[in-house]
């Protein structure tokens, strides 16, 4: 294995680690990926991975060659990036991929488009109305849930664009969603059994933080696991308070 520039390798590894951490991978995946790539380029990697920053030391033959810290980005689930980096790391490990090519591939993955905004809104609305159907709702309730979650997610995306605090965004989204659900119900004079309220806000549930928290704790990365669990509980609390405020307006608590 030919020796490459330590600075270039380290920068690439830190970028990959930060991207994985922000896109919703668990800590073990970040560790394994960094280690795999570093070994393919002929370095020994030691690292400290936390929620907000990654610290990396590269050494070869007992000599330290690279040592830096990189801040991770704001949390946006993006499994396209995780999937692409996983492929890239195997390509680097199995074939000869130059550092320039690898860096180019990472740049390309970062630029990959998300699904278009209206597709996301429509599909998430449909998902929430399927939840409603699974909980035993009628087709009328499904329609209410679709409209409510559509509006709520739209608000969340708008707030996200304006860089509002993430928890405030979740709170506002839950509030607006419940407001719409209750409003439609009032307008059509329809009796609820709470199903519409419960299922319309389900698109906000912190699934990735909770699942990753358990896996991190099981892998022995307890600190990261606790951080993620606290994160998940804070989001749950934000959802609950948004819901309660809207229910209080309709006097339904």
Partner 1 sequence: MNTSVLLESWIWFGIAAVGFAVLFNVPKRTLLPIFLMAALGGTLKLILVQNTENVVLGTLCGAVLVGFLSIYAAHLRHSPPFVFAIPSVIPMVPGSFAYHTMKGVIKLSGHVNALEFNSLLRETVNSGLKTLFILLAISIGVFAPMLITRRNSAKEINIRIPVLKSKRKS
Question: Which phi and psi angles does 30 have, rounded to 5°?
Answer: -60, -45
The CB-of-131 to partner 1 minimum distance in angstroms stands at: 6
**Could you tell me which stretch among 44-52, 55-63, 78-86, 169-177 binds partner 1 (CB under 8 A)?**
78-86
The CB-of-47 to partner 1 minimum distance in angstroms stands at: 16
The CB-of-187 to partner 1 minimum distance in angstroms stands at: 23
Contacts of 123 by beta carbon, 8 Å cutoff, 6+ apart: 115
Question: Which phi and psi angles does 72 have, rounded to 5°?
Answer: -80, 165
The CB-of-183 to partner 1 minimum distance in angstroms stands at: 19
Task: Give the one residue of 73, 79, 118, 190 binding partner 1; rule: CB under 8 A.
Answer: 79
How far apart, in Å, are the Cα atoms of 106 and each of 14, 83, 91, 92, 152? 12, 12, 13, 12, 33
DSSP 170-182: HHHHHHHHHHHHH
From CA 195, how far away is CA 188, in angstroms rounded? Answer: 16
Interior angle at CA 158, CA 242 and CA 195, nearest 5? 40
From CA 43, how far away is CA 216, in angstroms rounded? Answer: 26
Binding mask 95-124 for partner 1 (x = CB under 8 A): -------------------xx---xx--xx
Q: Are strands 53-60 and 44-49 parallel, antiparallel or unpaired?
A: antiparallel
Any contact of residue 230 with partner 1 (CB under 8 A)?
no
Task: Give the one residue of 41, 66, 131, 171 binding partner 1; rule: CB under 8 A.
Answer: 131
How far apart, in Å, are the Cα atoms of 151 and each of 48, 102, 187? 41, 40, 17
10 versus 182: smaller Cβ distance to partner 1: 182
The CB-of-250 to partner 1 minimum distance in angstroms stands at: 14
66 versus 85: smaller Cβ distance to partner 1: 85
Any contact of residue 222 with partner 1 (CB under 8 A)?
no
From CA 30, how far away is CA 111, in angstroms rounded? Answer: 20
Any contact of residue 143 with partner 1 (CB under 8 A)?
no
120 versus 223: smaller Cβ distance to partner 1: 120
Binding mask 16-55 for partner 1 (x = CB under 8 A): --------xxx--x--x-----------------------
Sheet with 63-71: strands ordered across: 44-49, 53-60, 63-71
From CA 234, how far away is CA 211, in angstroms rounded? Answer: 15
Task: Give the one residue of 44, 57, 68, 86 binding partner 1; rule: CB under 8 A.
Answer: 86
The residues of the shown chain that bind partner 1, judged by CB under 8 A, are 24-26, 29, 32, 77-80, 82-84, 86-87, 114-115, 119-120, 123-128, 130-131, 133-135, 194-195, 197-199, 202-203, 205, 207-208, 210-211, 213-215, 218, 236, 240, 243-244, 253
């Amino acid at each position: 294995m030919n020796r490459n520039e330590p600075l270039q390798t380290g920068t690439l590894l830190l970028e990959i680690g930060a991207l994985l951490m922000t896109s919703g991978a668990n800590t073990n995946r970040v560790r394994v990926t960094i280690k795999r790539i570093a070994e393919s380029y002929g370095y020994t990697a030691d690292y400290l991975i936390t929620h907000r920053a990654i610290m990396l030391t590269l050494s070869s033959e007992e000599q330290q060659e690279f040592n830096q810290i990189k801040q991770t980005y704001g949390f946006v689930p993006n499994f396209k990036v995780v999937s692409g980096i996983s492929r890239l790391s195997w390509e680097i490990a199995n074939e000869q991929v130059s550092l320039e090519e690898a860096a180019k591939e990472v740049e390309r993955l970062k630029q990959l488009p998300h699904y278009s905004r209206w597709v996301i809104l429509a599909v998430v609305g449909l998902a929430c109305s399927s939840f409603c159907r699974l909980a035993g709702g009628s087709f009328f309730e499904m329609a209410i849930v679709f409209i409510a979650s559509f509006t709520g997610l739209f608000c969340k995306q708008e707030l996200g664009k304006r860089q509002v605090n993430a928890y405030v965004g979740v709170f506002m989204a839950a509030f607006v969603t419940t407001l719409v659900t209750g409003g439609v119900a009032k307008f059509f004079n329809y009796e609820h059994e709470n199903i519409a309220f419960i299922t319309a806000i389900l698109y906000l549930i912190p699934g990735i933080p909770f699942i990753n928290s358990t896996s991190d704790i099981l892998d022995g990365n307890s600190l990261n696991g606790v951080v993620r669990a606290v994160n998940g509980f804070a989001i749950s609390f934000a959802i609950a308070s948004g819901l309660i405020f809207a229910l209080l307006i309709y006097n339904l608590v």
